[in-house]
Amino acid sequence: MNESLPRYRAAIIGLGAIAQGYGSPECAAPYCHAGGLLHCDRFDFAAAADPFPAAREGFREKWGAVFPDTTLFENLEAMLASERFDVVAVCVRGPHHFEVMKRVLRARPRLVFLEKPPTCSLAEMDELLALAREVGAAITVSYSRHWSPRVLWMERLVQDGLIGRVQSVIGYCDGAILSYASHTTDLVCQFATATNQNSRALRVRARGFVPPDDPRSQNIEAGFEIEPRLEHLSIEFSDGVLGVHVGSHGDAGSFYADVFGERGRARVGMYIEPQAWDLEGKPVEIRGFCELEDKGPFTQAYRQIAVFLDGGAKPDCSDEAFVHINEIGFGAIESVLDGGKVVELPNQNRTRRIWANG
Ligand SMILES: NC(=O)c1ccc[n+]([C@@H]2O[C@H](COP(=O)([O-])OP(=O)(O)OC[C@H]3O[C@@H](n4cnc5c(N)ncnc54)[C@H](O)[C@@H]3O)[C@@H](O)[C@H]2O)c1
């Protein structure tokens, strides 16, 4: 335990797959919030809430030995009333985010770490941001692959000029636009803006389809539309950079990107070794990669959250940064549902409700 740095009080709402299911205390790089809290070692995991008894029991069985002091609640209100947390992670499914987030924000944590997809409509996002401003809380959205150590490492190298000024980025990933493909939309933006942090997406154009039999849409409620799947998306940035997001037809699966710069190109993603080439196609050395410690993206994300709570910079994917990704996602949906028209950002239509059940 790091005794020289302050520790913060953390809570998790929803004890399913992403909260504690993907990984275990024994994993070197668990892909879940509990694992991130454990390895980051700046938080006391004070409490968690889930109405489902099997979820609480499953957590106790797997994580009880490393988190013996975590109080488990059936009821989220009871948990929020028990103390004021520094950070609350919201890990329920997308259609529950809005109601749960309103309750969490009213309890005034300093930061809410919200699982993607943040909201089912842009109107919900606007309302949550207004409430967060009122209570003085930051919202960080878990486009979690963003914090993969190898992705952050390559981002730093590209910022430092590895391939010169970025000109275009191609990201690879298909699937539900907000619930799944958004990880790669975020990756495209992470690298499209790496050499110009002030650049912003101006307009998008997309093609996709509405799946007829999506199991995640079976219990869709009245007033919601089924979440479309992505075939391709182009994003025009204010400095002329072009982001293209295609399906998983590249040669390295999903969740990676090719980044083209004035002096070469780079390939980056959570599941691939970072690579770079100069303009002649000769490999460029990726400095420091072999010494990189990898305890998973959630450890890195919680480290950034701890730095923010110490008084430092906001974590990546917070507030205006996640708004950027969510506007692109909803713009892509507008475009898909309107025959591939160009959609200017920010979106005019803020009331379309998508059953984003990822
Ligand atoms: N970042 C990633 O890579 C990633 C991966 C998987 C899922 N997710 C996201 O995480 C979220 C949860 O997905 P999941 O697959 O873990 O779902 P899940 O169904 O496995 O778990 C959700 C849990 O929330 C609980 N819950 C529901 N309503 C609640 C409430 N009001 N209060 C407290 N608990 C409540 C349920 O009982 C369940 O245990 C979704 O937004 C999903 O998109 C992110």
Pocket test for ligand 1, best of 93, 185, 357 (most atoms within 8 A of CB): 93
- Residue 60 host element (H or E): helix 53-63
Determine if ligand 1 sits within 6 Å of the CB of residue 13. Answer: yes
Which whole number is the average pLDDT over 90-117?
98
Which whole number is the average pLDDT over 14-37?
97
Confidence of residue 8 (pLDDT cuts 50, 70, 90): very high
Determine if ligand 1 sits within 6 Å of the CB of residue 216. Answer: no
Which CB contacts under 8 angstroms, 24+ apart, belong to 106-109?
106/131, 106/135, 107/80, 107/81, 108/84, 108/135, 108/136, 108/137, 109/11, 109/84, 109/85, 109/137
User: Which of ligand 1's atoms lies nearest the C-alpha of 13?
Assistant: 33
Confidence of residue 1 (pLDDT cuts 50, 70, 90): low
Residue 217 pLDDT exceeds 90 = no
User: Which of ligand 1's atoms lies nearest the C-alpha of 18?
Assistant: 16
Closest CA to 177 of 343, 348, 13: 343
Q: Name the phi and psi angles at 59, rounded to 5.
A: -65, -50
pLDDT tens per residue across span 70-95: 999 999 999 999 999 999 999 999 99
Determine if ligand 1 sits within 6 Å of the CB of residue 89. Answer: no
Which whole number is the average pLDDT over 2-22?
94
Determine if ligand 1 sits within 6 Å of the CB of residue 16. Answer: yes
Question: Residues of the chain with pLDDT > 90: what percent?
Answer: 92
Q: Which residues contact 313 (CB under 8 A, 6 or more apart)?
A: 304, 307
pLDDT tens per residue across span 164-183: 999 999 999 999 999 999 99
CA angle 244, 150, 90 (to 5 degrees): 80
Looking at domain 8-145, what is its CATH homologous superfamily? NAD(P)-binding Rossmann-like Domain (3.40.50.720)
Mean of the per-residue pLDDT values for the chain? 96
pLDDT value at position 4? 85
Residue 226 pLDDT exceeds 80 = yes
pLDDT value at position 242? 98
Domain 148-292+317-355 -> CATH class:
alpha beta
Pocket test for ligand 1, best of 12, 13, 18 (most atoms within 8 A of CB): 18
Residue 314 pLDDT exceeds 80 = yes
Segments making up each domain of the chain, as ranges? 8-145, 148-292+317-355
Ligand 1 mean position, distance from CA 187 (Å): 22
Residue 24 pLDDT exceeds 80 = yes
The rounded distance, in Å, linking the Cα atoms of 188 and 169 is 6
pLDDT value at position 2? 63
pLDDT tens per residue across span 267-289: 999 999 999 999 999 999 888 87
Nearest CA to ligand 1 atom 36: 14
pLDDT value at position 294? 92
Nearest CA to ligand 1 atom 4: 18
Which whole number is the average pLDDT over 102-113?
98
Determine if ligand 1 sits within 6 Å of the CB of residue 52. Answer: yes
The residue ranking higher by pLDDT, 215 or 337, is 337
Determine if ligand 1 sits within 6 Å of the CB of residue 148. Answer: no
Determine if ligand 1 sits within 6 Å of the CB of residue 276. Answer: no
Determine if ligand 1 sits within 6 Å of the CB of residue 227. Answer: no
